[in-house]
Amino acid sequence: MSPLEQAAWNAAATVVDPEIPVLTIADLGVLRGVTETEGAVEVTITPTYSGCPAMGVITLDVELALARAGLTGHVRLVMEPAWTTDWMTQEGRAKLSAYGIAPPAKTAGRRALFAETEVACPRCGSLATETLAEFGSTSCKALRRCLTCREPFDHFRCH
């Protein structure tokens, strides 16, 4: 990366997900790349799913982060390859858990969309959990309940 690209990456990497404010777009793997063209930068992001309502806000926040860093550039949304939870960082997964959201399984792949997976309760760690609703507080999360501590919690769904 050129120094300009690195500066743009660093600025964009500070942008948080408006739906899960403990995660940055770098933690999520939504921040895909930065390229320099004629003294300006293009930041590439990939939505967690094609209808993600947060992408408009994220795009504006990246543009603001670039401007605050004194950089000229724009954001390009790319749909291919499709985002996967495998792109989330370990740090991002740990942040989710500390925030009370069960992170997706690492390397779950697309098969997790069609099969029940073991999900540990982020509060007590029990694997005795059940799905209450396929969609929770946002479309990317399912609502689950721990059968041990009886607490409900969100589970970041695998994509």
Give just the sign of the alpha carbon dihedral 102, 129, 118, 157: negative
Nearest to 79 by CA among 32, 25, 114: 32
- Is CATH 3.10.20.30 correct for 3-77? no
Nearest to 51 by CA among 96, 73, 82, 25: 82
pLDDT at 116: 57
The 3-state DSSP class for residue 5 equals helix
Domain spans of the chain?
Answer: 3-77, 101-156
pLDDT at 118: 85
Tell me how long the chain is.
Answer: 159
3-state secondary structure 74-121: EEEECCCCCCCHHHCCHHHHHHHHHHCEECCCCCCCHHHHCCCCCCCC
Separation of alpha carbons 150 and 136, rounded Å: 17
Higher pLDDT among residues 32 and 110, named by residue: 32
Give residue-wise pLDDT tens across range 14-67.
999 999 999 999 999 999 999 998 889 999 999 988 888 899 999 999 999 999
Q: Taking all residues of the chain, what is their mean pLDDT, rounded to a whole number?
A: 90
